[in-house]
Homo-oligomer: A and B are copies of this chain.
Amino acid sequence: MKNRKILLSENEIPEKWYNIIADMPNKPLPPLHPGTLEPIGPEALAPLFPMELIKQEVTTDKWVDIPDEVRNIYSLWRPTPLYRAYGLEKALDTPAKIYYKYEGVSPSGSHKPNTAVAQAYYNKQEGVKTITTETGAGQWGSALAFACNHFGIKCEVYMVKLSYDHKPYRKTMMNTWGAKVFPSPSEATAIGRKILAENPNTTGSLGIAISEAVERAASDEHTKYALGSVLNHVKLHQTIVGQEALKQLEKAGDLPDIVIAPFGGGSNFAGLAFPFLRLNFEQGKNIRCIASEPSSCPKLTRGEFRYDFGDTGGMTPLLPMYTLGHTFVPAPIHAGGLRYHGAGVIVSQLLRDQLIEAVAHDNLEVFEAGVIFAKAEGIIPAPEATHGIATVINEAQKCKEEGVSRTILFNLCGHGNFDMKAYEDYFSGKIQKHELSDAEIKASLAQLTTPTI
């Protein structure tokens, strides 16, 4: 009987996070103040984040120690298993060797707690009493609720009203871990009250929810804000995923030719890929790292590299990123975690320097891939994860056509237990192929008045 799973013991949980900035040939350009267009320093972030996370946001140190207390909470589910996908290989009849790192074993069901626990820890260290955040479908809010509960920090989640009403299970999950969940816009903030007064029946948006969470954090010295992707420190925390995978593949006597992960803001991809890119930098390896994005939100494959705002409302500093324009509204696909207009600055710079690749997949193609995977391997993947699986299937088919065996690793970043409605829509034919025209992208980018690069 061939072993499917490669496991690590808890004392093999990595002791440091890997900071790719130290190894990048071209460092990311600085964020700019939107008024002066001058580079801004870390102090601008102080009202929202604890100092240790701000330091991590700007550090150029190659390794950052993981506190013992964070590793201790990680051990509730980490190290996560690495699977050899024998079932998928057989279903695809491919000579490729396919491995997947399974992050769905965390209590909230995805990779998100890797950074949520770290962020909650540093907030606790600096005496923060409450952390606020926004959530769309609820994956990030759940992870932060779980993390805050462990450190006895209050957690306030502003959940887009449409999701709050339509996806109550995620809300209840957050409640179970003690978080307070507000339908956004809410009466709890000035911006929320203003929007409700103007439009009492609004279903909200992620942009509004961010504004509410930020307002609450900025208005109370014991309250801070947390973000689940995009920022450098979030990517840093996620590198635990790739580091474990590297150890596990070494145990299997293997090294990937191709590393694949879904792409939303970048932390999922960064988490798995950066520790393998390190081998490219340090040892001259040539591991291809591919980011898989939805074709309805194709900032990496069809966006522009320029300065843009990180949020819809234009409140953040200007960031150098691949973007579709901060007012771009992606189609309402089920992979809510990938519906973001821009890419984090590190990943954007890496793509610009052709050190990583990106591909886009259509909405129908990814569910087809998800069902193939579920039948072959058992686990039903989250809609975000199916994007990576679609890329894996394409690469495995190329191996077959070329008669070459390559080793492929991908991030199964979460299970689909809370996303069965998406599969139901797929089975009942409600999911349509969505073609985004060049004109639509051009029109969105044309609205930008931010600096080009």
Q: How far, in angstroms, from A427 to B1 measured CA to CA in the complex?
A: 46
Indicate whether A109 sits within 8 Å of B1 (C-beta atoms), given known contacts A7-B9, A375-B149.
no
Stretch in contact with the other chain, from A312-320, A347-355, A418-426: A418-426
Interface pairs (6), CB distance under 8 Å: A3-B10, A3-B11, A77-B378, A107-B380, A109-B417, A417-B418
Q: How far, in angstroms, from A3 to B76 measured CA to CA in the complex?
A: 9
A380 and B68 within 8 A (CB) = no
Stretch in contact with the other chain, from A40-48, A93-101, A170-178: A170-178
The residues of B that contact A172 with a CB separation of less than 8 Å are 420-421, 423-424, 427
Interface size class on chain A is 35 or more
Q: How far, in angstroms, from A380 to B149 measured CA to CA in the complex?
A: 13
* 8 Å CB contact of A5 from B68, B75, B371, B423: B75
Q: How far, in angstroms, from A360 to B109 measured CA to CA in the complex?
A: 31
Query: Which 3 A-B pairs rank lowest in CB-CB distance, beginning with the nearest?
Result: A107-B378, A169-B420, A417-B417
A423 and B1 within 8 A (CB) = no
Indicate whether A5 sits within 8 Å of B1 (C-beta atoms), given known contacts A169-B421, A423-B172.
no
The residues of B that contact A427 with a CB separation of less than 8 Å are 172, 175-176
- The 0/1 profile, CB within 8 Å of B marked 1, for residues 364-408 of chain A is 000000010011011110000000000000000000000000000
Q: Is A146 an interface residue (CB 8 A)?
A: yes
The residues of B that contact A420 with a CB separation of less than 8 Å are 168-170, 172-173, 176
Q: Which residue of B lies closest to A142 (CB)?
A: B380
Q: Which residue of B lies closest to A149 (CB)?
A: B375
A1 and B10 within 8 A (CB) = yes
* 8 Å CB contact of A4 from B1, B3, B76, B107: B76
Residues of A within 8 A of B (CB): 1, 3-5, 7, 9-11, 68, 71-72, 75-77, 87, 105, 107, 109, 146, 149-150, 168-173, 175-178, 371, 374-375, 377-380, 417-418, 420-421, 423-424, 427
A378 and B173 within 8 A (CB) = no
* 8 Å CB contact of A380 from B75, B171, B173, B380: B173
A9 and B3 within 8 A (CB) = yes
Least CB distance from A54 to B in Å reads: 27
Q: How far, in angstroms, from A5 to B87 measured CA to CA in the complex?
A: 27
The residues of B that contact A1 with a CB separation of less than 8 Å are 10-11, 68, 71-72, 75
